[in-house]
Chain A
């Protein structure tokens, strides 16, 4: 029997998802034994027309990482959707928009102005700005067009499964590939990670008392957390209650609070509101004044509660 064909592709990403695949180490050899990799720009030669020549269904699964912000990326993922039986959104950016998705707090115009007209080190007397079409000495040069915002993969194409994390841990990747090969998959649309919150698997969970009463939020800039006690109990914002587990609690074991890269807990529609609701029950504020005072100690709620998920949230983007 022919080995199933697998494609890897990336969009707006940092390459950490590619590295995590490499971190499979020996396991990557097992994967290569079990499947034929027919597209992996990082490792293999290919052409767009090769992909165009595939018949729909020829390729069993496409793993796509990165958010989508260029029209060219959208064309690629639409083509892959057409040709591949299954599409897995790989990593936080494809799943939720990820950290590059924070660009939805600002505008394309602001990004261009800061980069080419305002930065302190610029020497740009003619106010040059990169152009989609430029002519230099009679030569035409093109650059891709940037969309006005960042989109997670499922806002562009239909997605079958999500592999969460920034990046997903190698172990989770190996498990997901194993499940796909055996055909032991949960219902379409599932996130391929445990159905629990981070708090439930957190090594600090047993230090959490029955009730938490946060009087003021603290920042790691101006205080040092006790690494042996629940961060929330100490007043540090930790997205554990609103975040799906499966990460191996890597940040917690590094003595730092969770920032939510695994996305919302099962059933939660919006990470930020889920976390706000959790904080609402953890804060000690019996009066409206006390609630305001507590809220005032929380800096950057948007960038903290939606660190990895703004484009996939109910808020999605700033309206210019």
Chain B
């Protein structure tokens, strides 16, 4: 008897993301579908708008990572008007962006991803959340998590007007500079963030790496995919969130492409399936071969693990040390273990915190020259940043007056759509045998998609983990069993 399992993580992507798992006649997993009912039509309703309004319109794609859309859009405007922002403006943008990465990464680690490890993958569901983390690490540390997040968000509000949906980026610069008084205040936050990031890595060491069971779980083949990886790198091939070239490595870690953001259409294509509103990007040079990994499949991954794999290292001292230890422990580069996304996120948080400090100690950061007014006729522009959840692409075309005529957006979670479906399927196949569906399935499945920190669950990384419900039907649609975590 074939069965259908519907897993409904109640999400914020239009409120509903859905995973359907189908069992064959013997009760083993045949296929899994990760469905996204996301379609608000930003690409279409932006047409006719003045391009300079896009940094204020596109953050509404996601209220948890509005800063990423704001920044990709702002960089797209630089390219559209072919204007180079003054050094102070570039540094202010990267400072705001690094601050955002710090708070967002910590939020995910402690509130959403971390509970699986800090509390434990087999802990009761009721404890596997931020409250469980607090119980394990203590109130004092929990207070520090809240403090680092609050201080970072205060910096963003001061610099960008609004922390949720900023008003900061302009073609050729930014709307607001930094005072010396604020610089000194923000420097204290940066120092605290560096200390806290090191503490978080130490916590990962003590709680996760010291526990053989956890390490085995991370390295378990059920949680691995040998895919291509993509991420932005600087001129030394180090991880960069704000700017650089897009680098792609193959499943062996060999560079197969390194391209300017403007050339992304030569490298990325989107596959369409009839059962999801999300498209499935793949590498054009390799081709779409379906939901499979390996060098013959164009499926690639983005976000923290992918960025570390696609780069040669980190541009700051402490993060580089953490980076080396990361690959040493995981048995070399690239690392394919999906659960290692969580660790990679902490390495990146440390880099972002160190970068905050570097930028705040740069005398140019308080410079008054923060805008170059565009003079050229706009036509077409591309802007790419690394959002917390991966490579984010904004591409605009306008008429001579800068009124949008066409828009193409490939958002971070978009790139990982196929890998997430594959990870869910693989974990389900590892768990469900001969029709036996246990409660453990749910956390196994959650643990397969949670590392990607998908945007459809991004609200949950602030307050807990996504509730899941599995409904098992017989082949006539009768509900046989309901499991909730």
The answer to whether A and B assemble together is yes
For B15, B48, B401, B467, which residue has the most chain A Cβ atoms within 10 angstroms? Answer: B15
Q: Would you call B150 and A25 a contact (CB within 8 A)?
A: yes
Collect the chain A residues with CB atoms within 8 Å of residue B35's CB. Answer: 141, 143
> Chain A interface secondary structure, helix, strand, loop or mixed?
loop
A155 within 8 A of B: no
Q: Given the interface contacts A41-B15, A42-B460, A256-B161, does A121 sit within 8 Å of B63 by beta carbon? A: no
Q: Would you call B459 and A219 a contact (CB within 8 A)?
A: no
Q: Given the interface contacts A167-B165, A300-B403, does A19 sit within 8 Å of B63 by beta carbon? A: yes
Q: Would you call B270 and A73 a contact (CB within 8 A)?
A: no
Q: Given the interface contacts A16-B164, A136-B33, A255-B175, does A106 sit within 8 Å of B45 by beta carbon? A: yes
A146 within 8 A of B: yes
Question: B278 CB to closest chain A CB, in angstroms?
Answer: 9
Question: A218 CB to closest chain B CB, in angstroms?
Answer: 11
B462 within 8 A of A: yes
- Binary A-proximity of B15-36 (CB < 8 A = 1, otherwise 0): 1100010100000001101010
Q: Would you call B408 and A16 a contact (CB within 8 A)?
A: no
Q: Given the interface contacts A13-B12, A25-B150, A167-B63, does A42 sit within 8 Å of B459 by beta carbon? A: yes
Collect the chain A residues with CB atoms within 8 Å of residue B60's CB. Answer: 14, 16, 98-100, 166
- The 8 Å CB contact of B63, one of A17, A70, A103, A105, is A17
Collect the chain B residues with CB atoms within 8 Å of residue A98's CB. Answer: 60
B463 within 8 A of A: yes
Question: A11 CB to closest chain B CB, in angstroms?
Answer: 6
Q: Would you call A121 and B175 a contact (CB within 8 A)?
A: no
A60 within 8 A of B: no
Q: Would you call A221 and B275 a contact (CB within 8 A)?
A: no
Question: B6 CB to closest chain A CB, in angstroms?
Answer: 10
- Bound Cα distance from A10 to B56, whole angstroms: 22
Q: Would you call A19 and B462 a contact (CB within 8 A)?
A: yes
Collect the chain A residues with CB atoms within 8 Å of residue B484's CB. Answer: 45, 47
Give residues of chain A (96-144) contacting chain B, Cβ–Cβ below 8 Å.
98-100, 102-103, 105-106, 110-112, 114-116, 119-124, 128-131, 134, 136-137, 139, 141, 143-144
Q: What is the size, in residues, of chain A's interface with B at 8 Å between Cβ atoms?
A: 78
Q: Would you call B45 and A70 a contact (CB within 8 A)?
A: no
Collect the chain B residues with CB atoms within 8 Å of residue A256's CB. Answer: 56, 161, 167, 175
Q: Given the interface contacts A114-B43, A114-B44, does A121 sit within 8 Å of B268 by beta carbon? A: yes
Q: Would you call A128 and B273 a contact (CB within 8 A)?
A: yes
- The stretch from A208-216, A222-230, A282-290 touching chain B is A222-230
Q: What is the size, in residues, of chain B's interface with A at 8 Å between Cβ atoms?
A: 93
Collect the chain A residues with CB atoms within 8 Å of residue B163's CB. Answer: 23
A18 within 8 A of B: yes
Q: Would you call A47 and B464 a contact (CB within 8 A)?
A: no
- Binary A-proximity of B346-389 (CB < 8 A = 1, otherwise 0): 00000000000000000000000001011000000000000000
- Binary B-proximity of A40-67 (CB < 8 A = 1, otherwise 0): 0111111100000000000000000010
Collect the chain A residues with CB atoms within 8 Å of residue B59's CB. Answer: 14, 16
Q: Would you call A13 and B265 a contact (CB within 8 A)?
A: no
A22 within 8 A of B: yes
B433 within 8 A of A: no
- Bound Cα distance from A59 to B162, whole angstroms: 33
Collect the chain B residues with CB atoms within 8 Å of residue A250's CB. Answer: 157, 161-162, 167
Question: A28 CB to closest chain B CB, in angstroms?
Answer: 9
B464 (CB) vs chain A CBs: closest residue: A43
A303 within 8 A of B: yes
Q: Would you call A254 and B167 a contact (CB within 8 A)?
A: yes
For B50, B146, B371, which residue has the most chain A Cβ atoms within 10 angstroms? Answer: B50
- Binary B-proximity of A4-43 (CB < 8 A = 1, otherwise 0): 0000001111111111101101000000000000000111
Question: A62 CB to closest chain B CB, in angstroms?
Answer: 14
Q: Would you call B463 and A42 a contact (CB within 8 A)?
A: yes
Q: Would you call A220 and B467 a contact (CB within 8 A)?
A: no
- The 8 Å CB contact of A110, one of B44, B62, B175, is B44
- Bound Cα distance from A123 to B460, whole angstroms: 33
A73 (CB) vs chain B CBs: closest residue: B15
Q: Given the interface contacts A144-B37, A222-B374, A259-B56, does A130 sit within 8 Å of B277 by beta carbon? A: yes
Q: Would you call A15 and B459 a contact (CB within 8 A)?
A: yes
A156 within 8 A of B: no
Collect the chain A residues with CB atoms within 8 Å of residue B4's CB. Answer: 139
Q: Would you call B50 and A219 a contact (CB within 8 A)?
A: yes
CB-CB nearest 10 A-B residue pairs: A254-B161, A16-B63, A111-B41, A221-B52, A14-B63, A123-B269, A256-B167, A41-B10, A45-B467, A141-B275
Q: What are 19 A-B residue pairs whose CB atoms fall within 8 Å in the complex? A: A13-B12, A14-B62, A14-B66, A15-B64, A42-B463, A45-B484, A47-B484, A70-B14, A100-B60, A111-B41, A120-B265, A121-B269, A123-B269, A141-B274, A219-B50, A221-B170, A255-B161, A256-B161, A300-B53
